[in-house]
């Protein structure tokens, strides 16, 4: 089998736990490209953050970011998005504001959050000083007021509930927002996105865009978010540091991210492959 597309998760896969991109990994990615493989990133990271990794790896193809909701080579010209549109986002925020919670929506350009009830509301809007300016996090007194004045959409919405009523909120979201999918995170946190937004669906769109079959694709990841693409491509690879369920469903298990598992896998899989052209 000749593999023509290599899809890589970032955190826990490409990067070490120190958040470092190792030289050996960079060289392995270049080795795959020299063999004629198209290489992309498939990540939950925002576009700005993922694009820095793509630049370090000298990738030439669009990257799948925001868990499949934004696919592009440049921030202003995406070829595919799966976002919560402004009118739905406003209704969603108005609904969530009836609960005691912190809400933060994101898109490819910024994140906007209401302040927690414990914070001192001295200003209407500030930008988090610890955040990089190329991807600001804006804090506002009222998200719904902000959205009435700004035409933003969202790749995702993160909700942290304060009163332990997660199941009630999930049921209400299912009843009133049929176009929204809900992912339960740890504790009282939910992640909301538009139906159809996922790493696998984003990868499938990209593969179709570049004319490569999923059966000629290698996908590498370490988390439950990566499981669907690991299962549905030609060669699904799990990192050794992935949860047991992910490792069990993979075709191949490589070394951990701290042991340069991506570099090891690439050399093993691509070293005997003749060069092809995408």
pLDDT-above-90 percentage for the chain? 86
Say which residue the tokens 């304060």 belong to: 162
User: What fold is seen in the domain 5-81+198-270?
Assistant: Rossmann fold (3.40.50)
Q: How many CB atoms lie within 10 A of CB 207?
A: 21
Contact in structure between 134 and 49 (CB atoms under 8 Å): no
pLDDT-above-70 percentage for the chain? 92
3-state secondary structure (DSSP) of residue 138 = strand
- In this structure, what token pair is assigned to residue 108? 């490819």
Confidence tier at 117 by pLDDT (50, 70, 90): low
Q: What is the pLDDT of residues 10-55, one digit of tens each?
A: 999 999 999 999 999 999 999 999 999 999 999 999 999 999 999 9
- Put simply, whether the predicted model's pTM sits higher than 0.95 gets the answer no
| Terminal-to-terminal C-alpha distance of the chain | 15
Q: What is the pLDDT of residues 134-166, one digit of tens each?
A: 788 999 999 999 999 999 999 999 999 998 899
Euclidean distance between CA atoms 226 and 9, whole angstroms: 8
Q: What is the pLDDT of residues 57-82, one digit of tens each?
A: 999 999 999 999 999 999 999 999 99
Residues carrying CATH 3.40.50.1000, the chain: 5-81+198-270
Q: What is each CA distance from 71 to 84, 98, 107, 237, in whole angstroms?
A: 15, 33, 12, 22
Tell me what the mean pLDDT of segment 128-132 comes to. Answer: 41
Which residue, 191, 273, 200, 270, is CA-closest to 231? 200
Residues carrying CATH 3.30.1240.10, the chain: 86-194
Euclidean distance between CA atoms 233 and 221, whole angstroms: 12
User: What fold is seen in the domain 86-194?
Assistant: 3.30.1240
């Amino acid at each position: 089998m000749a593999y023509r597309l290599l899809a890589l998760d970032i955190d826990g896969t490409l990067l070490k736990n120190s958040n470092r991109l190792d030289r050996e990994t960079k060289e392995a990615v270049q080795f795959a490209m020299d063999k004629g493989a198209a290489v992309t990133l498939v990540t939950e990271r925002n576009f700005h953050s993922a694009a820095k990794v793509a630049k370090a790896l000298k990738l030439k193809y669009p990257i799948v970011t925001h868990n499949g909701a934004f696919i592009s080579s440049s921030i202003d010209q995406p070829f595919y998005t799966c976002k919560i549109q402004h009118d739905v986002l406003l209704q969603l925020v108005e609904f969530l504001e009836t609960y005691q919670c912190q809400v933060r929506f994101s898109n490819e350009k910024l994140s906007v959050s209401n302040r927690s009830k414990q914070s001192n509301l001295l200003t209407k809007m500030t930008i988090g000083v610890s955040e990089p300016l190329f991807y600001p996090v804006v804090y506002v007194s009222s998200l719904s007021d902000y959205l009435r004045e700004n035409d933003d959409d969202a790749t995702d919405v993160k909700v942290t509930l304060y009163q332990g009523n997660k199941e009630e909120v999930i049921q209400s979201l299912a009843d009133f927002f049929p176009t929204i999918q809900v992912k339960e995170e740890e504790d009282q946190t939910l992640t909301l996105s538009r139906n159809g937004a996922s790493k696998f669906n984003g990868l499938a769109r990209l593969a179709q865009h570049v004319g490569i079959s999923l059966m000629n694709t290698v996908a590498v990841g370490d988390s439950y978010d990566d499981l669907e693409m690991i299962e549905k491509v030609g060669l699904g690879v799990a990192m050794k540091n992935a949860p047991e369920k992910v490792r069990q469903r993979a075709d191949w298990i490589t070394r951990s991210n701290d042991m340069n598992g991506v570099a090891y896998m690439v050399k093993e899989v691509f070293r005997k492959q003749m060069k092809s052209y995408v």
